[in-house]
A = this chain, B = another copy of it.
Amino acid sequence: MIKFILLGFLNYQPMTGYDLKLSIDSSTSHFWHAHHSQIYTTLRQMEQNQLVTSVYIKEESQPDRRVYTITEGGRQAMTEWLGQSMAEATQIKEELLVRVFFSARRDPQDVLAELRLQRRLHQEKLAAYRQITKKVPHMQHSNSELLRDQVFWRATLELGMRYEEMYLGWLNDTMKTIEGL
Contacts and interface: CB of A to CB of B under 8 A. Distances in A.
A76 to B, nearest CB: 13
Nearest to A162: B166
Interface string A77-100: 010001101111111111111111
Residue from the set A83, A93, A101 with the largest chain B CB neighbour count within 10 Å = A101
Contacts of A89: 118, 121-122, 125
Interface of A: 1, 4-5, 8, 11, 27-33, 78, 82-83, 85-104, 106, 110, 113-114, 117-118, 121-122, 125, 145, 148-149, 151-153, 155-156, 158-160, 162-163, 166-167, 169-170, 173-174, 177-178, 181
